[in-house]
Amino acid sequence: MNSVESILRANRKLNYQDKLAAKELGPPRPDLLIENVTKSVKRDYKRTFNKELYDKHKWLCGCNLRQALYCFPCLIFSPEVNSWTNKGVRDLVHLSEKIKKREKSHVHKNANIELSVLGKVNISTQLDSVYRESVRKHNEQVDRNRHILSRLIDCIKFCGAFELALRGHDEREDPENPGVFRGLVNLVSAIDGSMKEHLETATVFKGTSRTVQNELLDCMLSVCREIITQEILNAHYLAIMADETTDVSTMQQLVIVYRYELNGSVVERFWGFFNPDTQDAETLFKVIKSELQKHADGKKEKVIAQCYDGAAVMSGGINGVQARIKQMYPRAYYIHCYAHQLNPVLQKAASVNKSARIFFSNLSGFPAFFSRSSHGTCVLDRVVQTSLPRIAATRLVFNIQTVNTIRENKESMIECLGEITLSDRVDDKTRRESYGLLSNLKNPEFLFWLEFFHRIMPHADILFRKLQQQNVEAITARQYLLEFEDVITRIRNTAIEEISFATEEISSSCEEQIQKKRKSETKVENAKEVCDAIISHMNERFSFTDHLVASKLLDVSSFSLFSTNFPERELDITVEMYPWLSKVQLRTELEVLYSRKDFQRAGGAVAILQLLLDNKLDLDTFPQLCELMRIIITTPLTTVEPERCFSTMKRIKTFLRNTVTENRLSALAMLTIEKKFVNHTKDFNHRVIETFARLENRRMDFLYK
């Protein structure tokens, strides 16, 4: 009932409920297409409607159908009929005079008063001293109630931040084994007198019930999502990351994380867990689509990237999730997680020839042996004073840690296995296995590959960790990959023969020396084959094509080269991928960037963008360049954040808490994953209380009069 046309059709005779609904909806303020042309002797003056008038005069409203301005309070309450309440005002030439005259009229002021007190107690009652005293007492009680509720919210926030179960086995009034939440409430009541008094005297709303806990968790999740939604609305571009796994109760869980740029910084926000019915592409697409539409509905250019793992259901180019999302958002380019791609690169290299496969097969026997032998584990802890990683042969980190641990503690491992072999406390099978492992540690072939991969694995570990950083961007990722490739090349060209010479046995006879030399040449060739496989597979998997070519334009190490030899091809591809960028203007801005030596010391696109924003150079001087940098830093390269969310989920949804619902799971995960974000939101508790108070009619007052 707030549209002008609806009010006029009802002859401005609205009942109380209609008036109240119109007030809650507020005055309609469409962008009107009003034009007035004033002719003079020399020229014609054209005036058009400016929407800023609504901000200057809060009582103004408009009608799309009649293309005219009206007075909203007078439409609802004023009995008189004039241009402001009947036909509307279209005269822009004399509009300011008419507005001033209207604001001075008695009828307009009375209508404003009626509108402001609509839905409230009448004026005479408000002026009554008894009423004002009751309002004061009510508001004082609301202050006390809000203080109690705020303390309960703090207790829940604490449980969420440290991944603690709110409820225990016994939730009665005086339990012997209370949950963490009840324990925190008791602790707060021992410190806070008002909290203690409330718990002792409250009969209507104590706040410790299971229902209240769940409602507060829902409100916290709702408030967090409202803030994140507002951040996404203010961001220029949006990228989505998603991953799926199975939880402890064998339910399929899909996590969604958003990435965007905010004030020159990269932001990745957890959005929630979702439980799709099946794992097919259509179902997963519907879940992701429904969430994306909340932030980018009608803004197809806003979503510029989507990052998943390499599963066919997600990465399929025809019917996969990424292909379906790209149909909705044409610029949402798909990125296969770089951290996932590094795994198959080294796994492929580790199985490129027979010698490498045999080495890793023997290597996996070490953690497998100690995981089965309790006596062996005790000896390992005492002699070596370290532990071997758990068996996870599909993970890159497993091979890295195993190689490094055995190589760095080789002598201690020999002593440890020797003691186990000679021990009378082990059975024949354990003794046989330990003797086999001991033989490996004395085998020159095994030692060669151990030393060889020990030269590679620490660098692979560094690269793996760098690719998992939240603020990693395409430019820095490319530099990390090039540095790793240079290391592998140096190892191939210089280090392999040194390793072979250092691990060879001294032979007495000439024939043995010839055989050792042949074996050494074979080992060297096999090791070089491994290095070649790493380099070739990296170039294949990490090629910067299509939309990632844009990152080359902001490669700081190439600025001096670009200043004399402008990257025309990269610019053409970038404008083709993101057609809203102006090629001519972007080229000019890039040329200025390349020509200045002070920008050549920048740490990447994030540092340059922050510099431009701090000096207010983003709107007038470098608008296109800032757009490009926002695109680059918004584009994710890994799904590390979703995987961290799964780690949190597995700590929250344990075997003892496997019945937690999706909303509770998302709320607890939000308080854990985004605890810094929650703690830095100054009015977080206030917003949660407002949301909680409006969920339903409470038996305890939380809203001020």
Q: Which sign, positive or negative, has the C-alpha torsion 6, 8, 9, 12?
A: positive
Residues 361 and 475 in one domain: yes
Average of pLDDT values for 107-126?
85
Distance, in Å, from the CA atom of 633 to the CA atom of 475, rounded to the nearest integer, reads: 9
486 in Cβ contact with 459 (< 8 Å): no
Average pLDDT over residues 165-169: 69
Residue 651 lies in a domain: yes
Of all residues in the chain, what percent carry a pLDDT higher than 90? 25
Q: 320 and 263, same structural domain?
A: yes
- Binned at pLDDT 50, 70 and 90, residue 507 comes out as very low
User: Considering the domain boundaries, does residue 167 fall inside one?
Assistant: no
Dist. CA 549–CA 551, nearest whole Å: 5
**CATH at 315:** 3.30.420
Higher confidence at residue 505 or residue 414?
414
What is the per-residue burial (b if ≥16 Cβ within 10 Å, else e) of 152-179? bbebbbbbbbeebebeeeebeeeeeebb
The strand pair at 68-71 and 238-246 is best described as unpaired
- pLDDT of 698 reads 76
Kindly report, residue by residue over 79-98, the tens digit of the pLDDT: 888 899 988 999 998 999 99
Task: Answer yes or no: is pLDDT of 609 > 70.
Answer: yes
Looking at residue 559, its pLDDT comes to 86
Residues 244 and 643 sit within 8 Å (Cβ to Cβ): no
Q: What is the residue type of 481?
A: L
Handedness of CA 121, 127, 129, 133 (dihedral sign): positive
Q: Is the pLDDT of residue 190 over 80?
A: yes
Mean pLDDT of 184-213: 87
Work out the end-to-end distance of the chain between its first and last CA atoms, rounded to an integer number of angstroms: 26
pLDDT value of position 544? 60
In a domain, residue 578? The reply is yes
**Mean model confidence pLDDT for the chain:** 84
Radius of gyration of the chain (CA): 35
Q: Which range of residues forms the domain containing residue 39?
A: 4-120
Average pLDDT over residues 94-107: 92
Q: 643 Cβ partners below 8 Å, 6+ apart?
A: 243
- Classify strands 68-71 and 60-63 as parallel, antiparallel or unpaired: antiparallel
Last residue of a domain, one of 578, 608, 634: 634
> What does the alpha-carbon distance between residue 144 and residue 134 come to, in Å, rounded to a whole number?
16
Residue 81: C-alpha distances to residues 4, 69, 71 (Å): 14, 14, 12
- In this prediction, residue 219 has a pLDDT band, given cuts at 50, 70 and 90, of very high
Band of residue 394 on the pLDDT scale cut at 50, 70, 90? very low
> Which has the higher per-residue pLDDT, 76 or 700?
76
Judgement on whether residues 450 and 576 belong to the same structural domain of the protein: no
Q: Which residue has the higher pLDDT, 531 or 515?
A: 531
Considering the domain architecture, whether residues 489 and 365 belong to the same structural domain is answered as yes
Residues 425 and 509 in one domain: yes
Residue 474 and residue 617 in one domain = no
Residue 354: inside a domain:
yes
Whether 573 and 527 share a structural domain: no
Task: Examine residue 246 and state whether it is found in any structural domain, yes or no.
Answer: yes
Cα–Cα distance measured from residue 269 to residue 149, given in angstroms and rounded to the nearest whole number: 27
Report pLDDT for 519: 65
**Predicted pLDDT of residue 227:** 94
Residue 619: band (very low, low, confident or very high) from pLDDT cuts 50, 70, 90: confident
Residue 456 has pLDDT above 90, yes or no: no
Each residue's pLDDT tens digit, 634-682: 988 877 788 888 888 888 877 656 667 778 888 888 999 999 999 998 8
Question: Is 157 inside any structural domain?
Answer: no
pLDDT over 80 (residue 182):
yes
* Same domain as 531, residue 460: yes
Output phi, psi for 558, to 5 deg. Answer: -105, 5
Beta bridge partners of 266: 261
- Is the pLDDT score of 508 beyond 50? no
pTM of this structure: 0.73
> Does one domain contain both 279 and 332?
yes
As a residue count, the chain comes to 705
The CB-based long-range contact list for 77-83 (8 Å cut-off, 24+ gap) reads 77/19, 77/110, 77/111, 77/114, 77/115, 78/107, 78/108, 78/110, 78/111, 80/107
Nearest alpha-carbon partner for 488 in 453, 535, 539, 543: 535
* Residue 590: pLDDT over 80: yes
Whether 551 is in a domain gets the answer: yes
Element holding 261 (H helix, E strand):
strand 252-262
Pick from 541, 571, 589: which residue ends a domain?
A: 541
Q: Look at residue 682 and tell me if it is in a domain.
A: no
475 and 584, same domain (yes or no): no
Q: How much of the chain exceeds pLDDT 70, in percent?
A: 92
Q: Around Cβ 557, how many Cβ atoms within 10 Å?
A: 11
At residue 158's C-alpha, the angle toward residues 153 and 161, to 5°, is 120
* Distance of alpha carbon 47 from alpha carbon 62, whole angstroms: 17
Same domain, 535 and 591: no
End position of a domain, from candidates 87, 120, 153: 120
Query: Residue 324: which pLDDT band, with cuts at 50, 70 and 90?
Result: very high
Q: How many domains does the chain have?
A: 4
Q: Which residue has the higher pLDDT, 65 or 249?
A: 65
Is residue 611 over pLDDT 80?
A: yes
Residues 575 and 659 both lie in one domain? no
Model pLDDT, residue 652:
81
Give me the amino acid identity at 522: T
How far is CA 315 from its chain centroid? 20
Instruction: Quote the pLDDT of residue 658.
Output: 66
